[in-house]
Amino acid sequence: MYMSDLQVTLQKAVSEGDLLEASAENILFLLEKAGCEDWEKNSVMELIDTQEWTELNDRFYQTLKFGTGGLRGRTIGRVVTSVERGESGNSGNSEKSGPPQYPAAGTNVMNYFNLGRATQGLLRYVQQNFPSEQGKVVLAHDTRYFSRRFAEFAAELVSSMGGVAYLFEQERSTPELSFAVRHLGAHAGAMITASHNPPHDNGFKVYFQDGAQIVEPHASAIVKEVLATPSAKPENAPGGGEVISIGREVDEAYLNALEGLVIDAELLRNQARELKVVFTPIHGTGLQSIPDILKRFGVGCDVVPSQAIPDGGFPTVESPNPEYAEALSMAIERARVQEAGLAFGTDPDADRMGVAVRSRDGEYQLLSGNQIGSILAAYRLERLFEKGVLNDSNRGRAALIKTFVTTDLQKAIAEHYQVKCVDTLTGFKFIGEKLKDYEAEAGGRGDQDRETWRSTLLEKSTYFVFGGEESYGYLAEDYTRDKDANAAVLMLVEVAAWLSLDGRSLIDYLDSIYIQFGYYRERLGTLTFEGAEGAAKIKSLLQSYESNPPAKWGEKSVEKIQNFNIEDLQDVDGKEIPKQLMLMFYLSDGFRVAVRASGTEPKIKYYFFGRSNAADPEALSVEKSDLGALLDELWSYTQQDVKERVGEE
């Protein structure tokens, strides 16, 4: 089809309402750009010839944008063309069986086109900011489809543009990538991953010199460079760079940093034989670190064999997300046979960790992200004060950091110990940004060892004790600048070892926290709206809450609304909180609801919060049931209200 004929075909589809105007423009942009591969052209033409307008809209209604985690989107389309299928023989309709030969062609998908533009934009920004240095970028990847190929492609691009690409020899976790940026003295880093998303997704998560995900002003500046890049590869690359393979040396340094997180190493080693731990990496990168770091303390780690195999299709689970019981079901079954106390799971890039705990009746209870974070926060503060690391003279320079949508139980714990509790926007990059601020305030770490650095922070700045997100992400101290599932497993195993001294479990400890600080209950509700039509619904929903907020949420009155997109807010350190489209509804009787769009998935998220008091275990049992039912009612109302807001019956 000649270009003039193609334009006529596309405009006809637009006029008939089958194709969005933006989609038509982006199709022509892709096909006309320099360096467009034949397979890309042929794939798009196949979709046009077969009138797959919905698929074309999903692939082209926009150019893939940076969200809370950088680039993230589909790598395998809902409709896989015969061109994309290529020689693989995989239709793409069964993602568990393997990927097609090529990623999806389009401007709104994660493919070589968007990866190439992002890599070029990142390196150009590095070169502009460090003009007298050779730009250095660390690249890592998880086990997802196309991840290794994408990482190698990005590394060669960096080298062709005169930069140095440090490329891990095989899959590694996101927190190790973050660690490696500072360890190697690099200017930036990128992780090829879509974290816990379905097998058809992949992404490009960008880090700057401080090892944290990019924030402003870097984010907008890099996006500007990316948008100014017309093709996946530069036409006249200067060369002169290199690709350096990295592996065990960085691994050892990273594991040494993890080892330093243990507060009572002697106790952990002495109690190691009392612990039985089952672990599943869910076919991902956690296998690279977790068994090794536990072994250093004598803790045996039984790995689920079938899930230890790296596989981007994640064939043994519906979703590789450790917050779901199904993802941990094989680990729980193995733990049941062995009567193990803990069954851990980590997502493909090992930045999120979930755990099931054996209760007194032999059943396994899955802890929520809020519960895990609260246990770790309470333990680390209690033991650090016991050991004198924290005391009356320095407690004001210690902090917990959490997101606004993470439980306020952690704020109550911080208040009890008279340490700061800092709230940030959703996205671990904002926690990483706080750590950068604290480092700068202390005058920079330089070559200080861990204990000296902690003393410096407690004297001159703020020592980060622990922090995290309700979405199963946790971090202690500042050795890395992203959530770390490898560390979370080690830290929670230490808590279990301490509790084993008097025969308590993590569930017992959590209940004691509730009785001391109050029973805090949360519920997350998510609604998925995929593709171009879905994105429009999410936008419309959020706008409706701004323009037509409810007077009541279920049976609860709305007493106050906080709009993070328009209000000028500051954190407890006096730093301005960036604008983000999130609404917080304060309801009667102390309940709250937060509403925001996910930055990494096609979802709108609703966070429900409630609190009550319980003086003893019997009262706590009643409160657990009653408060849980109330939050369920709020979620049921929300789902019905959403149908009315989007015009569905």
DSSP alpha helix (H) spans, 184-319: 218-227, 248-259, 265-271, 290-295
Between CA 143 and CA 307 the distance in angstroms is: 12
3-state secondary structure of 440: helix
CA atoms of 351 and 321, how far apart (whole Å): 11
Structural contact between residues 603 and 527, judged by C-beta atoms closer than 8 angstroms? yes
Residues 6+ positions from 95 with CB-CB distance below 8 Å: 76, 145, 198, 199, 200, 313
3-state SS assignment for residue 334: helix
Q: Which residues contact residue 590 at a Cβ distance below 8 angstroms, ignoring those fewer than 6 apart?
A: 610, 611
In order, the DSSP letters of 281-324 are -TTSGGGGTHHHHHHTTT--EEE-GGGSS--TT-TT-S---TTS
Nearest CA to 113 out of 174, 57, 71, 53 is that of 71
Both tokens of 237, joined, read 């690359």
Say how far apart CA 577 and CA 564 lie, in whole Å: 9
Catalytic, 195? Answer yes
Strand partners, 206: 190
CA atoms of 356 and 350, how far apart (whole Å): 17
Residue 42 to residue 1: CA distance in whole angstroms = 11
Cα–Cα distance, 472 to 322 (Å, whole number)? 8
Taking the CB of residue 639, how many other CB atoms lie within 10 A of it?
A: 11
Q: Helix (H) and strand (E) counts for the chain?
A: 21, 21
> What is the distance between the alpha carbons of residues 484 and 137, in angstroms, rounded to a whole number?
21
How far is residue 376's CA from residue 432's CA, in Å, rounded to a whole number?
Answer: 19
- Calculate the CA 308 to chain-centre distance: 21
What whole-number distance in Å separates Cα of residue 382 and Cα of residue 384?
A: 6
User: Of residues 43, 173, 178, 195, which has the active-site annotation?
Assistant: 195
- Half-sphere exposure of residue 455, counting CA atoms within 13 Å on the CB side? 6
Tell me which residues are annotated as active site. 195
